[in-house]
Structures are given as structure tokens and as C-alpha cells.
């Protein structure tokens, strides 16, 4: 869950490199926007801000929102401005919240600027999908997961990947926003899935598996959406029509996908009806390709 960010531990080298690149992209955009040491080019600045915004950089999202709100380097578009201000505000940029008072609430549309560039055409046959990466876990916890997973019809590798991301297998983990235990259940989630003691490993895993089972049914087995919802909430995923543009969440989803080696998993459709926004999410995903 979003509150459990501290449980990630030290970032990996690849993530450090991505963050460094994102910062460099933002600095280049700022220089171009203001003509600092280079010829001023607000159009190119907007493009670079958008590259960093797609990766979840909150400051770039705020600056791009400002450009859309003022028609600077881009055509004025309050809807696009609201999208970027809202994303930045939810990542803690206070000025973005103030700007939302000016441009209004986002209307749910995703700016064209957020469309990722098309992948290069392969010159050789497509590589096979990456193999799953085994997750090391303490033997007692791994045994519990393997024992309980069939009851919930949840892939053990998914449970262990989420658990490692959330708490690094710390039974006593507590986040600044009160996410608790191995699977970092917030109080509302613990209550929702009848977890009386979140610091009891068996109860915590049972609650986390019940939530994952529900998310898998709600998003029809789409691992990226399930992981994003576990991190940021299913309502946030629905509001952004996909993985929200938060750096933490996007890195979280990448980790889970890389560990799992799969983009879809079986699910039990009897658990819950699918998200009423799922068709819109899929439509948006198709449009952004």
C-alpha cells in the first residue's frame, strides 16, 4: 500500500539510474523553459517535463500543469492542467493543490502527452517473456504462504512479491500511516477482511491473501492493476484509468511484474463483480499504445 513505502528498503541500482535520469530530464526541461544557459524552448521543455511526468515525477507534473494552465509552450488546457496538478498534489506538492482551485477538478481524461512513445520495431524475433524471479523469504513465512495460498486460489509468488515489497517480511512492520504487519494492512483493510490482530503472521497473511483474491477478481487478473491497487488503492486506479502516475506506484508495479514474470493471473469471478471502470481502463490503455 502507498503508506508502506518505507518497507521497500534501499533502491536497486536500476531504480537509482531511473531516478537520476528523471531528475536530469527535469533539469533540462527547466533550463529550456526559462532559457537558463540555453536557447529558450518552451515546447521542448513541455515534452521533457512530460517524459518525467510519465515516470511519476511529481515536480515535473506540477510544472507541466502550470504550463497547460497558462498556455506556455502548449495550448492552454484546463483539463490537462487539472490532471497534472491532481497527480502532483497527491504526491505531496502543496502548490498543486492550490492550483486545482483555479483550474477545477480533473475530468478523468488522460492528456495525450502521457501517451508513451511507440516501442522500436524489432529486427529479430521477439524475446520470450522474462522468467519469474524466485523470492527469498524466511522458511516459516514461505511455508505459511504455500499452505494457505490454495485456499484463496492466489499464486504464492504474487503473495511473496507483495510481502517483500511491503514489509521485507517484518512481522512487526508499522508504516507512518498505520499500515501493519507482513502485508502492511491498513486498519480499514484489516477490518474489511476480518483481521483481528494484524501482527499475527497467520491472520495478516490471510487478510492480505483475501484482499489479493478480491483485487484479482475486481481487475480480472490484470497483475499491473492489482499491484497498483494494493499500493495506492483500487479507487485511485479507477480514477486514473490505470496505474496512477505516482513514481512510487509505478516502480512498485514494475517490481511485482518483474518478480512474477507474468502480466495476468487466474482469478475467481465468483468473489466479486469486475470494476465498473475496467472497460474504460482497457480503452484508455489501448488509446495510449
Give the CA dihedral 172, 173, 176, 180, nearest 10 degrees.
-80
From 166, 234, 238, 251, active-site residue = 166
Distance CA 167, CA 103 (A): 38
Q: Integer distance in angstroms from the first to the last C-alpha of the chain?
A: 27
Q: Please spell the DSSP secondary structure of 173-234, one letter per residue.
A: -B-TT--BTTTTB-HHHHHHTT-S-TTSHHHHHHHHHHHHHHHHHHTTTBHHHHHHHHHH-H
Distance CA 4, CA 249 (A): 11
Let me know: does 53 contact 26? Beta carbons within 8 Å. no
- Give the three cell numbers for residue 185: 494492512
Q: Is 238 a catalytic residue?
A: no
Give me the active site residues, please. 166
Amino acid at each position: 500500500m502507498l503508506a508502506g513505502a518505507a518497507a521497500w528498503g534501499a533502491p536497486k541500482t536500476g531504480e537509482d539510474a531511473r531516478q537520476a535520469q528523471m531528475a536530469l530530464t527535469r533539469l533540462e526541461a527547466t533550463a529550456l523553459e526559462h532559457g537558463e544557459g540555453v536557447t529558450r524552448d518552451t515546447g521542448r521543455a513541455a515534452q521533457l517535463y512530460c517524459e518525467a511526468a510519465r515516470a511519476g515525477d511529481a515536480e515535473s507534473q506540477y510544472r507541466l500543469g502550470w504550463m497547460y494552465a497558462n498556455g506556455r509552450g502548449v495550448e492552454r488546457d484546463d483539463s490537462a492542467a487539472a490532471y497534472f496538478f491532481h497527480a502532483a498534489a497527491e504526491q505531496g506538492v502543496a502548490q498543486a493543490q492550490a492550483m486545482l482551485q483555479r483550474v477545477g477538478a480533473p475530468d478523468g481524461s488522460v492528456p495525450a502527452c502521457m501517451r508513451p512513445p511507440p516501442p522500436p520495431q524489432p529486427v529479430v524475433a521477439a524475446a520470450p517473456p522474462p522468467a519469474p524471479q524466485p523470492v527469498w523469504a524466511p522458511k516459516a513465512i514461505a511455508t505459511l504462504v504455500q499452505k494457505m495460498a490454495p485456499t484463496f486460489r492466489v499464486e504464492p509468488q504474487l503473495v511473496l512479491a507483495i510481502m517483500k515489497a511491503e514489509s521485507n517480511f517484518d512481522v512487526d512492520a508499522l508504516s507512518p500511516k498505520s499500515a501493519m504487519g507482513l502485508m502492511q494492512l491498513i486498519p480499514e483493510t484489516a477490518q474489511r477482511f476480518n483481521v483481528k490482530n494484524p501482527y499475527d503472521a497467520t491472520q495478516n497473511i490471510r487478510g492480505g491473501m483475501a484482499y489479493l483474491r478480491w483485487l484479482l477478481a475486481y481487475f480480472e487478473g490484470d497483475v499491473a492493476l492489482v499491484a497498483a491497487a494494493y499500493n495506492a488503492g483500487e479507487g485511485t486506479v479507477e480514477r486514473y484509468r490505470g496505474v496512477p502516475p505516482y513514481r512510487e506506484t509505478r516502480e512498485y508495479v514494475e517490481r511485482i511484474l518483474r518478480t512474477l514474470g507474468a502480466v495476468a493471473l487466474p482469478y475467481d469471478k465468483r468473489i466479486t463483480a469486475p470494476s465498473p471502470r475496467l472497460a474504460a481502463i482497457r480503452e484508455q490503455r489501448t488509446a495510449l499504445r
